[in-house]
Structure formats: structure tokens, C-alpha cells
Structure 1
Amino acid sequence: MGKFIYENGPRVDIDDRALTHIQLVITAKLRRGEPLPFSWKDDASLGGGRTTVWIHAASSMVFKYTVAAHSSINRSWVDALAFTANSPSGMYLTPEPREGTTLDDDLKTASHK
């Protein structure tokens, strides 16, 4: 389990694989000069709820991984996270889609469940 640490404040445990994909989207947005909100659900031990941080070029962030090896990248997941990052409400963690599917494919599948 990795950890995302923002400034001197919020910290959240995130699976290493998910954290890798989140890092890719955040760094891509910041390279383009695009700030974004990033939200996550708080653990029940913290009272539940949700935390949102505003990420911009001057933000201080740490992506701490528990394993040294890099995860393979699921391009469909990067695309899904980028889709949320470009929305007015900002980026949030989505479930990992099947590799090679499109966001439309996963939305269609979800709507039939």
C-alpha cells in the first residue's frame, strides 16, 4: 500500500498500482500547466467523508510506494483517470478497467449491471 502525501497536510493510503496511474495523470496535467482538484474517500477511522486538495505547479506532493518495482501501465485506466481530472469536479480514483477497453465500453458495461 502506497501513500499520497500533500503539502504538510493530508495523507492517504492508495494501492501502489493505483498510485502509479494517479501520478502519471497528475504529472501530465502539471506539465501542461493545468492545475486540478484531486479527491478521495476518507477511511472510516477518520470519520469517513471525502478530502479534496487543489494541485498546482507549486504544490508539494510525495508519492510513496511500498515496492520498488514499477507497475505495468493500463492505458485505459490512465484515460479514465484523465477523464475525471478534466471534469469540473476534478480527479478521483476510478476502478481499474479491463486493459484495452475504452471509457465508453466501461460506462456501457456499468449501465447494464
Structure 2
Amino acid sequence: MGSLYYGDSAEPINIDDRALAHLKIVIATKLRRNESFTLSWHHADAENGGRSTIWLHPSIPLRFVFAESEAPEISRQWVESLASSASSSGGITLVDEDVEDTINC
């Protein structure tokens, strides 16, 4: 399980390593272009359900921490799906991967 540290919060947002790797690509691309957007996700069942949304802006510090030392294979289709949602008015909604097209990054 990976972690995304947002702003100055000491408490991480826990996200599966594979999902976090895909999000990192999309988030870094958007922020490199100075684009702001939201990121939303559903809480794990262990967290009593619910959902959260954060505002991502180039001036807000982010740190991606991965539990695994090896980077996972990347699904081009999943990255494209997340990137498409990042450009929508609702921002990125973290959804499960449902494709098998992978590339090495």
C-alpha cells in the first residue's frame, strides 16, 4: 500500500501502489502544465466508507511513497482514463483498473 502526502499533513492518503503509480503520471503531467484540479476517491471499507476530495494545485506540496521498490507495469488505457477525468469538471475520480493494456515506464 502506497501513500500520498498532501500539503503539510502528516497523515497520508493510502492508495494501492499500482493505482498510485498511475495517478502520479497524471498528476505530475497536469501540475507540470500549471493546471489545478480535484482528486476524489472512495474510502476503504475499513475506514467506514465515505469519500474524500482534495484540490491539487502546483503550489501545494505532494509526496508519493511506494511500498514496493519496483515500479509496476503501467496501463496506458488506465492513464488515459484518469487523464480524461482530470480534464473534466469533476476532476480525477480514482477508479479501479479494468483494462490489460500495459507498457513499461
Common fold by TM > 0.5: yes
Deviations 1:67-112 (A, max 9, x none): 1111111100000111111111110112213234xxxxxxxxxxxx
Deviation at 1:5, TM superposition (A): 1.5
Partner Cα distance (1:96, 1:43) in 2: 16
Residue 25 of structure 1 aligns to which amino acid in structure 2?
V
Which residue in 2 is equivalent to 1:52?
53
Partner Cα distance (1:98, 1:46) in 2: 27
Q: What is the aligned residue count?
A: 100
Deviations 1:28-84 (A, max 9, x none): 001111111011112345443211111011111111100111111110000011111
Identity %: 38
Which residue in 2 is equivalent to 1:32?
33
Q: CA RMSD in A?
A: 1.6
TM-score by structure 1 length?
Answer: 0.79
Deviations 1:8-41 (A, max 9, x none): 2363211111100000000000111111101111
**1:25–1:82: 8 Å Cα contact kept in structure 2?**
yes
Answer 1 or 2: which has greater strand percent: 2
Unaligned runs of at least 5 residues, structure 2:
none
Structure 1 runs (4+) greater than 2 angstroms displaced: 8-11, 42-48
- 2:47 is the counterpart of 1:42: no
TM-score by structure 2 length?
Answer: 0.85
Q: Which has the larger radius of gyration?
A: 1
Residue 39 of structure 2 aligns to which amino acid in structure 1?
F
Residue 6 of structure 1 aligns to which amino acid in structure 2?
Y
Answer 1 or 2: which has greater helix percent: 1
Look up the SS of the partner of 1:28 in the other structure. helix
Look up the SS of the partner of 1:59 in the other structure. coil
- 2:24 is the counterpart of 1:62: no
